[in-house]
A = this chain, B = another copy of it.
Amino acid sequence: MGKKIAIAGVTGAVGQEFLRIIEQRNFPFDSLKMLASSRSAGKKIDFMGKTYTVEELTADSFGGIDIALFSAGGGRSKEFAPAAVKAGAVVIDNSSAFRMDPEVPLVVPEVNADAIAQHKGIIANPNCSTIIANVPVYPLHKANPVKRMIVSTYQAASGAGQAAMDEMVQQAKEVLDGKPVTCSTLRYQLAFNLYCHDSPIGENGYNEEEVKMTKETHKIFSCPSIGITCTCVRVPVMRTHCESINLEFTDPITPKQVTDLLSTAPGVSILDDRINNRFPMPTDASGKDDVYVGRIRQDESIPDNRGINLWVAGDQIRKGAALNAIQIAEKLL
């Protein structure tokens, strides 16, 4: 029994990935409505042997829809998700609009799939860098509660959307040709350069991306006591986020125990070949479902063997956004 699906923001990088994943996972649907801004309305998209016409996203788009996948930006989610819920759809929202709403479950299926049942029409998809950290950290936290987590990210251009990916390519050509670098979607030169995440900065000096890692992890783990600090950085990589994660546990833990726990953890692939110096790279994780984990090491600067360093890589568009949302939809069925 298929469902009636709508995708809001279908022409974006995440919207396009929704389509690929629906096809790859054979997600059961009876009908599919493709929605985007008025700018993209009328565009034709071929999908699974059928040609769809993109319709303008409005409050009236959701009659008869069972599941609405939103990835059209926080403003559009705030504007149109309530209308979709009113029309009877369950909204799975990829924006930050509802994530911290206590009425809205914030879900990484490998961590808190149970929370889905509590939804009142909207389920929030966490931020990409949060999901990619949470998938490998949660199975460790469950076995031995994490007391403190220090994350430095290496975030791909895709997190800023398809236009940012295209502009990074353009910038790279400009640098190679010795021409001035275009910064229109990207705030600064990203090709052959990097910069701290340019989301708005709060009074304490942390940008929104860093605050998301802390607050969303607290909510997803149902554990607001974990100390979390984060430095988020945009790097000239296309679509995979990497993260250097330092963990302080409650009890002693060895790299071997971490490896054992992660080797059976859902959504995790271990790539930790010290002999051949082969660890997760963006080129490994791009287009893949799993979060790749390597560099599993004891952090000897924490006493009693309670410290571990990890290096993780996950596809930002896929597990960081579209795949996680489709997995939520699968759990809903």
Contacts and interface: CB of A to CB of B under 8 A. Distances in A.
A298 B192 contact: no
A152 B297 CA distance: 14
22 contacts: A150-B299, A154-B233, A172-B192, A176-B176, A187-B277, A188-B281, A189-B283, A192-B238, A192-B282, A194-B235, A194-B242, A196-B279, A196-B311, A201-B274, A201-B275, A204-B297, A205-B255, A205-B298, A207-B277, A227-B301, A229-B301, A246-B246
Between A173, A192, A295, the greatest number of chain B beta carbons within 10 A of the residue's beta carbon is seen for A192
Interface string A306-333: 0101010000000000000000000000
Given A172-B192, A193-B237, 18 more contacts: A148-B302, A150-B246, A152-B231, A176-B176, A193-B281, A194-B235, A195-B279, A196-B311, A201-B277, A204-B297, A205-B274, A227-B302, A229-B300, A229-B301, A229-B309, A231-B311, A233-B242, A235-B236
A186 to B, nearest CB: 12
Contact of A154 (B194, B198, B229, B274): B194
A14 interface: no
A241 to B, nearest CB: 11
Contact of A299 (B172, B229, B295, B296): B229
A299 B228 CA distance: 9
A69 to B, nearest CB: 28
A294 B196 contact: yes
